[in-house]
Structure 1
Amino acid sequence: MTQISILGCGWLGLPLAKKLIGKGYSVNGSTTTQNKLSILESAGINPFLVALESESITESIKDFLDKSDILIIDIPPKLRGNNADSENSLRKIFVDKIDNLIPFIEKSTVKKVLFVSSTSVYGDENGIITEETIPNPETESGKQLLLSEAILQENENFETTILRFGGLIGEDRHPVKFLAGKENLENPDAPVNLIHQKDCIFIIEQIINQSKWNDVFNAVAPFHPTRQDYYTQKAQEQNLISPKFTVEKSNIKKTISSNKVENILSYQFDLDVY
């Protein structure tokens, strides 16, 4: 039985682990919260308390990786801001975490790594964005994700696939709840670049099943109405106050292409959930 370690059993990692277990995989799952261990265990996951810091990592990481063939890294950078002060205080925090993890991967049985990244590495580029587009991150989070991607890809001890997700949505997570009632929102004509939790899980499953390693995939649903149209409609559907947009700042029209996921993985998105 193939064993997979999922570093970060949160909003995406936990349902992903459940899906993989249902497909016959053995799954080691990590959390940073003691009281969540029982939740993982009740789901059939082998639970581990793993704290990955910029300067240290818990000893349990060795057992967490032991006997696993594949490691899925799904931990958000949790970085905000792009001014000089924040860059100095947050500089390389996430990158250092990945750096600290590398030696443990090298000494483990893991030979395949899937790193969950973000389309934020492309910055606010205009036009159609593909995997061939040169990344140009503007946020601190995007910058550190791109550096972390490179650290993993350049390591010859294992094969790494990078999966760059667009804006994450799900039944319990939707940006319209945050935008409802807000005013003077920018870029009303910008296309949305979203991906549902359901599609995230299926795409990861396909990468594993088809052994698509040493590759990069953008994962965004081929569904790109304007921000104004989409969030106005969603606010009405959920009986929320519609957000109001300003046309004064409307210059970014970035569309993330999903052609590679659709063609290489033969994946068909479920657009009904959007």
Structure 2
Amino acid sequence: MKRISILGSGWLGLPLAIELSKANFHVKASSRSQERLTQLRKAGIEAHAYDIEVLDSRKNTHENDFLQADILIINITSKNVAAFTQLISEIENSTIQQVLFISSTSVYKNSAKLDSAAVTEDDTAALVECPLLKIEDLFQNNSNFKTSIIRFSGLIGYQRHPGRFFLATTDDDAVYCKTIKNPDARVNMIHRDDCIGIINAVIKQNCWDEVFNACASQHPTRREFYQAALNHLGDHEPVFSGQTDSVGKIISNEKVKEQLGYSFIHDDLLDFSKMKFS
């Protein structure tokens, strides 16, 4: 049985751990939260307290046990380059053979040319220097294990309903919509069901030493998308900035579809009736 450790068990990591366990992988998952560790154990997942910020101070519990696996999925929001450098040293001394690093399409620049061609994984000129990109490079340039990177776009689904991003309440509990900027820019979003589906595809197809962009195929404008999202929540009227100098980008998902043969579950970002939220 192949062993998979998941670093980070939040909105994506916990359901991912459950799905991989159902697929007959031996799954371990980590968290810095005692409450989340309890949730993992209740779900039948081997839980580990593990924090890359304190690797060198011996504060992790069973840190060596956590890295006794074949595959490590890194799914945390930290941008601490030094902490990831230390983590890589730990991986080098472990049984980990492959790393799947969950990244973000925020590594690509925005542009004022809203009709520009979609950005692909090969568009290195579109990359912006940032800590996340440096961390990607640390893993890609290490020859002690194989790394694939998935750059997810905006995450939606279940507890993350995009309509709620812009709803707020007044002191007397009246609900209103905050101003939505960049109304003419295109959105790049992906539902959690598809995040888990793509991760599964990479693992099952042994697709390593690759970089994948991951987002739905359709890219409605922010005006269209958030209007549909707010309509799904009820009678909420969106407020757009009205500015004409919107900036943004369109992310291509062609490599995921062609190389992995992946078919998106939620490809129509305006059809909220078919998306799962909680």
Partner of 1:48: 48
1:136 aligns with 2:127: yes
Shift of 1:32: 0.3
8 Å Cα contact 1:188-1:245 kept in structure 2: yes
Partners in 2 of 1:185 and 1:201 — Cα distance? 29
Over the matched positions of the two proteins, sequence identity in percent amounts to 42
Shift of 1:202: 0.5
Partner of 1:24: 24
Partner of 2:62: 60
Shift of 1:191: 1.0
User: Tell me, which stretches of 5 or more residues in structure 2 are unaligned?
Assistant: 168-175, 267-273
Counterparts of 1:140-151 in structure 2, within 5 Å, are: 143-151=130-138
Aligned counterpart in structure 1 of residue 161 of structure 2, from 168, 174, 178: 174
| Residue correspondences, number | 254
Aligned counterpart in structure 1 of residue 192 of structure 2, from 190, 197, 204: 197
| Structure 1 vs Structure 2 CA RMSD | 1.8
Paired AA for residue 174 in structure 1: H
Partners in 2 of 1:25 and 1:136 — Cα distance? 35
Partner of 2:270: none
Shift of 1:249: 4.4
Shift of 1:60: 2.6
Aligned counterpart in structure 2 of residue 119 of structure 1, from 105, 122, 126: 105
Q: What secondary structure, in the 3-state scheme, does the structure 2 residue paired with 1:114 have? A: strand
Shift of 1:42: 1.8
Partners in 2 of 1:188 and 1:18 — Cα distance? 37
Paired AA for residue 72 in structure 2: L
- Cα 1:183–1:173 change in 2 (3 A) is closer
1:256 aligns with 2:251: yes
Shift of 1:95: 1.0
CA distances 1:179-214 after superposition (whole Å, capped 9, x unpaired):
134454321111110000000001000000001100
Partner of 2:208: 213
Partners in 2 of 1:235 and 1:266 — Cα distance? 33
User: Tell me, which stretches of 5 or more residues in structure 1 are unaligned?
Assistant: 78-92
Partner of 1:101: 87
Relative to the length of structure 1, the TM-score reads 0.87
8 Å Cα contact 2:212-2:256 kept in structure 1: yes
Shift of 1:36: 2.5
